[in-house]
Amino acid sequence: MQKFDAIYDAIVIGAGHAGVEACLALARTGHKTLVVTLSLDAIAFMACNPAIGGTAKGHLVREIDALGGQMGIAADANLLQIRMLNTGKGAAVRSLRGQADKAKYHGYMKSVLERQPGLDVLQSEVTDILTEDGAVCGVKTAQGQTFGCRGVVVATGVYLNAEIIIGSFRQSVGPNGFCRATSLTASLLSLGLPTRRFKTGTPARIDGKTVDFEKMTVQNGDEELYPFSFMTDGFVPNKRPCYLTYTTPKTKEIILANLDRSPLFNGSIKSVGPRYCPSIEDKVVRFADKERHQIFIEPECADTDELYVQGMSSSLPVDVQLEMYHSVIGLENCKIMRFAYAIEYDCIDPTALLPSLQTKAVKGLFLAGQINGSSGYEEAAAQGIIAGINCARHLDGKPPVVLPRDSSYIGVLIDDLVTKGTNEPYRMMTARAEHRLHLRQENADERLTPIGREVGLVTDERYERFVAKLRELDDIRAALDEKAQAGDVAAYLKHIGAEGGGGGCRYGELLKRAEADAKSLKEFFPRFANFSLRNLEEAATEVKYAGYLDKQKSFAEKMKKLDEKPLDPSIDYASIGGLRIEARQKLDKIKPLTLGQAARISGVSPADITVLMVWLARNK
């Protein structure tokens, strides 16, 4: 019998964005939890962009918040600026993005963890995951301590055997110079988890006192935007601007002249980097016809002059970086405070996971965040809260929470990872969500807060707010179904500059006109004066897109039927005649739990699913 220094219900390895959500979910559901981090100074640290949200990522933050997570609340409390992206496009793809104070965000989250009942925080390195009879039983640290538990969440980010690369210079450290984890990869391999090597990178940080902002375009935040968290009252004030500038033909010339010194192009870096966040040298080569690229200058903190140069991540040598950054409009005399670098790290093949994020190989072992091959703070936090929830449910002997694709971006994210896998750092995008018109930011609470309440993360205060919102939405929908008088309709149409005006109609029908919106309806008709504009806007969106939403609902119901057909993980797909060889191999590797999941596996065709359905009917 193993003797432990202390015993917990669960242990979370790593306190980045995934680890924070996981350990809070565990502790808040009543489980004695230990979170172990390589450095207390790296808790929820923004190693790259000092921002939360963005296209599709803003949706993830709202969903984490709706489940009872912490990221949205922390972001709102520490924002320097907030903007709505894609305002010129449809409601489905509009996304919140906020510049956060990097230092204060870290401090805020560290304080939340320290004050959370039932949660202990320890600075140490976990070297081994201990198992017994195919299940987790504890962890061991580099200092020789052992801690017993029945559940472990691994959320190590990009720290496993991390290595920073700047030209020919290599340093065995994690992001921002934090120490790396050197032993855990071997432990994961010994447990049967397949690993691979990925790469990401970050741009230089520069001294704001040396930037010529007059040559740039100021980018202020948007006023009166609803914040990330449903628990934040009012609007978040904008405190600092960002700036837009561009590279020049000289920038391109410098990069092309030094490609032989670029680790990306001279063979020094062999790992796979993110497709949708390429380095500046990669962009120059891939888009050879472009003479300039957008660059955004963003504040790192409120109390520092250090600025982040978004769009110019690089691993070029420092002398080339200096010349390259000085060729950007407004940065001719800038001083670099931290040089850009690439970072390589170990991660696992996420198809080794169940949809609950528990490993197929070891019971009680869950993985979340960039170790699963994803990129981004928001993707990590989304996996973290689900891993924490499901680890808690494993401890309680309850079935896991598996969010379907039509319920959330989180569901899409996890299903993509565990079903399709990824050969490069995975980034969430609205295009990945086939139900994106239904999965809008504003209704994240309607989709997920009941689940958060059921698992024990949604507080009474949050739930009371949610119920009040539902009650008002019902009243608004009833009011929109009422008929307006002909004279009032004519006057309203004239007020908004719309043509027509004959006869009465339902208020909701007015909203289907391009010129009509919730704000004008609230201002003009006394019937809507006392409703909150936020809820009225949501109801108005439902009316405007009713036909499309009905189509998505019908499609979701068809897919749900496939997801309701279970598949036994022990099925021998090699023995099923009629399946193509590729389909047999992919099905045998993934071991899908439902027919719907099988249909989403890359390499499994509709014809293969038909064969599988016939086989299932014969072998009930």
Residue 526 DSSP symbol? G
- What is the pLDDT, as a whole number, of residue 501? 66
Q: Assess contact for 320 and 330: CB atoms under 8 A.
A: no
Are 431 and 510 part of one and the same domain? no
Q: What is the largest CA-CA distance in the chain?
A: 84
> Any idea what the CATH number is for the domain that residue 325 is in?
2.40.30.260
- Examine the pLDDT at 620 and tell me if it is beyond 80: no
Residue 138, helix vs strand vs coil: strand
> If you average pLDDT over every residue of the chain, what do you get?
95
Are 191 and 98 part of one and the same domain? yes
Please indicate, yes or no, whether the overall pTM of this predicted structure exceeds 0.85: yes
Residue 334, helix vs strand vs coil: coil
Q: Work out how many domains the chain is built from and give that number.
A: 4
> HEC string of 600-618?
CCCCCCHHHHHHHHHHHHH
| Interval 392-418 mean pLDDT | 97
> What gap in Å lies between CA 292 and CA 251, rounded to an integer?
8
- What is the pLDDT, as a whole number, of residue 591? 93
Torsion on CA atoms 535, 539, 541, 542, rounded to nearest 10: 140
Are 191 and 60 part of one and the same domain? yes
For residue 374, is it within any domain? Answer: yes
- Domain stop point among 423, 454, 485: 454
pLDDT digits (tens, 9 = 90+) for 576-594: 988 999 999 999 999 999 9
Q: Assess contact for 284 and 84: CB atoms under 8 A.
A: no
Are 19 and 150 part of one and the same domain? yes
- What is the pLDDT, as a whole number, of residue 558? 82
> What pLDDT band is residue 504 in, cutting at 50, 70 and 90?
confident
Question: Which residue in 318, 312, 245 sits closest to 281, CA to CA?
Answer: 312
Q: Assess contact for 491 and 100: CB atoms under 8 A.
A: no
Are 27 and 80 part of one and the same domain? yes
Are 331 and 232 part of one and the same domain? yes
Are 480 and 594 part of one and the same domain? no
Residue percentage of the chain with pLDDT more than 70: 100
| Interval 189-218 mean pLDDT | 97
> What pLDDT band is residue 618 in, cutting at 50, 70 and 90?
confident
The burial class, CB within 10 Å (0-12 / 13-18 / 19+), for 285 is middle
Are 55 and 144 part of one and the same domain? yes
pLDDT digits (tens, 9 = 90+) for 38-57: 999 999 999 999 999 999 99
Residue 3 contacts by C-beta under 8 Å, 6 or more apart in sequence? 146
> What gap in Å lies between CA 423 and CA 193, rounded to an integer?
16
- What is the pLDDT, as a whole number, of residue 291? 92
Are 193 and 65 part of one and the same domain? yes
For residue 177, is it within any domain? Answer: no
> Any idea what the CATH number is for the domain that residue 120 is in?
3.50.50.60
> What gap in Å lies between CA 264 and CA 282, rounded to an integer?
8
For residue 15, is it within any domain? Answer: yes
- Domain stop point among 283, 318, 341: 341
> Any idea what the CATH number is for the domain that residue 529 is in?
1.10.10.1800
Residue percentage of the chain with pLDDT more than 90: 87
> What pLDDT band is residue 62 in, cutting at 50, 70 and 90?
very high
Task: Please give the structure tokens belonging to residue 540.
Answer: 């108005």
Q: What are the percentages of helix, strand and coil residues in the chain, rounded to 5? A: 40, 20, 40
Over the range 431-454, which residues count as b (16 or more CB within 10 Å of their CB) and which as e?
ebbebbbbbbbbbbbebbbebbbe
For residue 555, is it within any domain? Answer: no
pLDDT digits (tens, 9 = 90+) for 239-249: 999 999 999 99
* Tally of CB atoms within 10 A around 179: 14
Pick the range with the lowest mean pLDDT from 3-17, 229-243, 248-262, 605-619. Answer: 605-619
> What gap in Å lies between CA 137 and CA 284, rounded to an integer?
50
Q: Assess contact for 271 and 199: CB atoms under 8 A.
A: yes
> Any idea what the CATH number is for the domain that residue 608 is in?
1.10.150.570
- Count the alpha carbons within 13 Å of 281 in the hemisphere toward its beta carbon: 28
Are 47 and 190 part of one and the same domain? yes
Residue 246 DSSP symbol? E
> HEC string of 80-97?
EEEEEECCCCCCCCCEEE
For residue 164, is it within any domain? Answer: no
Question: Which residue in 198, 191, 573, 195 sits closest to 360, CA to CA?
Answer: 191
Are 67 and 191 part of one and the same domain? yes
> What pLDDT band is residue 1 in, cutting at 50, 70 and 90?
low
Q: Assess contact for 233 and 461: CB atoms under 8 A.
A: no
Residues comprising the chain, all counted: 620
Question: Which residue in 452, 427, 314 sits closest to 372, CA to CA?
Answer: 427
H-type alpha helices, 564-600: 581-590, 595-599
- Examine the pLDDT at 617 and tell me if it is beyond 90: no
> What pLDDT band is residue 182 in, cutting at 50, 70 and 90?
very high
> What gap in Å lies between CA 446 and CA 462, rounded to an integer?
12
Angle of CA points 490, 495, 496, to nearest 5°: 105
> What gap in Å lies between CA 165 and CA 170, rounded to an integer?
5
> What gap in Å lies between CA 31 and CA 564, rounded to an integer?
31
Are 195 and 208 part of one and the same domain? no
- What is the pLDDT, as a whole number, of residue 272? 86
Domain that holds residue 438: 6-157+184-199+345-454
- Domain stop point among 294, 310, 341: 341
For residue 360, is it within any domain? Answer: yes
> What gap in Å lies between CA 82 and CA 73, rounded to an integer?
14
Crossing angle between the packed helical segments 444-455 and 377-395, to the nearest 10 degrees? 30
CA distances to 294, 488, 493, 514, 516 from 501, in Å: 46, 9, 6, 15, 13
Q: Assess contact for 283 and 289: CB atoms under 8 A.
A: no
| Interval 420-444 mean pLDDT | 94
- Examine the pLDDT at 503 and tell me if it is beyond 80: no
Residue 467 contacts by C-beta under 8 Å, 6 or more apart in sequence? none
> What gap in Å lies between CA 606 and CA 321, rounded to an integer?
50
For residue 153, is it within any domain? Answer: yes
pLDDT digits (tens, 9 = 90+) for 237-288: 999 999 999 999 999 999 999 999 999 999 888 888 888 788 999 999 999 9
For residue 607, is it within any domain? Answer: yes
